[in-house]
A and B are shown apart, each in its own frame.
Chain A
């Protein structure tokens, strides 16, 4: 059903038959409570005739109201017709008046709402941003201080190394093979052991990336028993890696 929703048809500013009728009442400055709706039949028909070509069901709704108005007019002109009204199951003048009044209130409220909207005075709420990722509990200030100490030491050594042996290059591929061999032989080793006594920053980074790669290839298992403790690297018992065919 969504597919055939065309743009809402608005006819010369009239959204529907009730609105057209209400416009007539207001234009003529009539009191909605007392106006004889039948008196509006002619003016209404003139307006309907002036409407541009409309889809059939749109026209039908305007014509239905027009015929109702004509009937009301006929009854007021020929009171003798009145008894027939009891047979008529359509809307009485009072029912139509009630609908018109109800619609008038809706339009008034829509106007008030529209005014509020135009004033731009709206509220905003806190936008639901990215969910807050709380750090794991149990962090210790001393552990942080120790880690910072190690970073400083590493940075100092890095500078010394650069002075001694600038341009030293480590290949992730070589290091990966190296670690795989060590783990294959020993079965288990810690990250600190792999780094050695005085690692440079480059060495540490390459070692770490190699470990990630090995882990990804399911060659090794990684384990850390508590926050900030050493990482244990184990040979994966039965690697699911398919052996490369010769």
Chain B
């Protein structure tokens, strides 16, 4: 039997038309953030056999449809399938795995100018600006969006497919901040 907090949270997220933060949930149900975490985990677990999933980006939570049911939902909504060029996918991959990241850093890794692909990804709302790096030129930082998670059927960034290549292949590759930003 699920606890009352779990049901309360489910009810809130059911009517919410945008992600609800953990803090807001805690305030609404009168529980500690830790209790909310536990309840959210329980709720996510209880959805595993249903047509719904609990998704989160950082501390913001939302009920979404299960990726396995995408075709019927897309048919109902009349949603078009998203198409992304290989070049944009590469830029997106760098941003998704390294975020927040500057354009110069993306370009350093891909070895090509990424103006166009970043512009396209921004327009499709797959990436967004995440403030600026405190470095010369204060370059804009980019990160992925809710749309990104949804379009790729991910419940959170933790579900990003970890590379088939061992992480250790690049010394300090994934965890260290990606070097000095070149001023743009």
Q: Is B a genuine binding partner of A?
A: yes
**A122:B18 contact, CB within 8 angstroms:** no
**B67:A108 contact, CB within 8 angstroms:** no
B76-102 CB mask vs A (1 if < 8 Å, else 0) is 010101111111011011101100000
Q: How far is the CB of A68 from chain B (nearest CB, A)?
A: 12
**B18:A17 contact, CB within 8 angstroms:** no
Q: How far is the CA of A19 from the CA of B155 in the complex (A)?
A: 31
Q: Using a CB-CB cutoff of 8 Å, which residues 55-74 of chain A contact chain B?
A: 57, 61, 65
Q: How far is the CB of B55 from chain A (nearest CB, A)?
A: 6
Instruction: Determine the chain A residues whose CB is within 8 A of the CB of B90 once the complex forms.
Output: 15, 106-107, 110
**A61:B93 contact, CB within 8 angstroms:** no
Q: How far is the CB of A85 from chain B (nearest CB, A)?
A: 21
Cβ-based interface call for B17 (8 A): yes
**A123:B70 contact, CB within 8 angstroms:** yes
Instruction: Determine the chain B residues whose CB is within 8 A of the CB of A15 once the complex forms.
Output: 86-87, 90, 110, 112
Instruction: Determine the chain A residues whose CB is within 8 A of the CB of B96 once the complex forms.
Output: 109, 113
Chain A interface: which of B22-30, B38-46, B132-140, B158-166?
Answer: B158-166
Q: How far is the CA of A110 from the CA of B85 in the complex (A)?
A: 10
**A113:B92 contact, CB within 8 angstroms:** yes
Q: A125 and B170 in contact (CB under 8 A), knowing A5-B115, A61-B111, A113-B92?
A: no
Instruction: Determine the chain B residues whose CB is within 8 A of the CB of A116 once the complex forms.
Output: 152-153, 161
| Consensus secondary structure, chain A interface | helix
Q: How far is the CA of A2 from the CA of B171 in the complex (A)?
A: 36
**A114:B84 contact, CB within 8 angstroms:** yes
Cβ-based interface call for A99 (8 A): yes
**A105:B165 contact, CB within 8 angstroms:** yes
Instruction: Determine the chain B residues whose CB is within 8 A of the CB of A84 once the complex forms.
Output: none
Cβ-based interface call for B63 (8 A): yes
Cβ-based interface call for B150 (8 A): yes
Interface residues on chain B, number (Cβ under 8 Å): 57
**B111:A17 contact, CB within 8 angstroms:** yes
Residue of A104, A125, A127 touching B63 (CB-CB under 8 A): A125
Instruction: Determine the chain B residues whose CB is within 8 A of the CB of A181 once the complex forms.
Output: none
Residue of B18, B85, B93, B119 touching A106 (CB-CB under 8 A): B93
Instruction: Determine the chain B residues whose CB is within 8 A of the CB of A103 once the complex forms.
Output: 109-111
Q: Using a CB-CB cutoff of 8 Å, which residues 117-131 of chain A contact chain B?
A: 117, 119-129
Q: A113 and B77 in contact (CB under 8 A), knowing A120-B71, A123-B53?
A: no
**B164:A123 contact, CB within 8 angstroms:** no
Instruction: Determine the chain A residues whose CB is within 8 A of the CB of B21 once the complex forms.
Output: none
Instruction: Determine the chain A residues whose CB is within 8 A of the CB of B87 once the complex forms.
Output: 8, 10, 15
Cβ-based interface call for A98 (8 A): yes
Q: Using a CB-CB cutoff of 8 Å, which residues 67-108 of chain A contact chain B?
A: 98-99, 101-108
Interface contacts beyond A122-B152, A124-B150, A128-B18: sample of 4 additional A-B pairs, CB < 8 Å, sorted by A: A6-B116, A99-B109, A105-B163, A113-B161
A-B contacts, 24 listed (Cβ < 8 Å): A5-B115, A10-B87, A15-B110, A19-B111, A19-B112, A103-B110, A106-B90, A106-B97, A109-B93, A109-B97, A109-B163, A110-B92, A113-B89, A117-B84, A117-B151, A121-B153, A122-B67, A122-B74, A122-B152, A122-B153, A123-B66, A123-B155, A124-B65, A125-B62
